[in-house]
């Protein structure tokens, strides 16, 4: 019985805390998602380019 009370209290407190959260609007969430995707794409292109350049340099050095 005591275990049940702990679980019920946890769920109740969790719901109260979730009510205090400042959730982003749909537009804010969309804008932030676009920013994350653009930064991810930019970093992927940058790191892929670095990988390509260093691979070619390494091949040039070892004569592959």
Write out the residue range of the structural domain in which residue 48 sits: 24-64
Q: Structure pTM?
A: 0.66
pLDDT band at 23 (very low <50, low <70, confident <90, very high): very high
Q: Classify residue 7: in a domain, yes or no.
A: no
Q: Are 45 and 37 in contact (CB under 8 A)?
A: no
Q: Write the pLDDT tens digit of every residue in 26-63.
A: 999 999 999 999 999 999 999 999 999 999 999 999 98
pLDDT > 70? residue 11: yes
Q: Classify residue 49: in a domain, yes or no.
A: yes
Q: What is the pLDDT of residue 63?
A: 86
How many domains in the chain? 1
The C-alpha R_g of the chain, in whole angstroms, comes to 25
Tokens of 57: 């340099």
């Amino acid at each position: 019985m005591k275990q049940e009370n702990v679980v019920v209290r946890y769920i109740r407190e969790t719901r109260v805390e979730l009510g205090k959260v400042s959730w982003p609007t749909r537009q804010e969430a969309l804008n932030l998602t676009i920013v994350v995707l653009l930064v991810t794409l930019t970093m992927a292109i940058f790191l892929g380019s670095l990988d390509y350049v260093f691979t070619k340099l390494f091949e040039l050095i070892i004569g592959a």
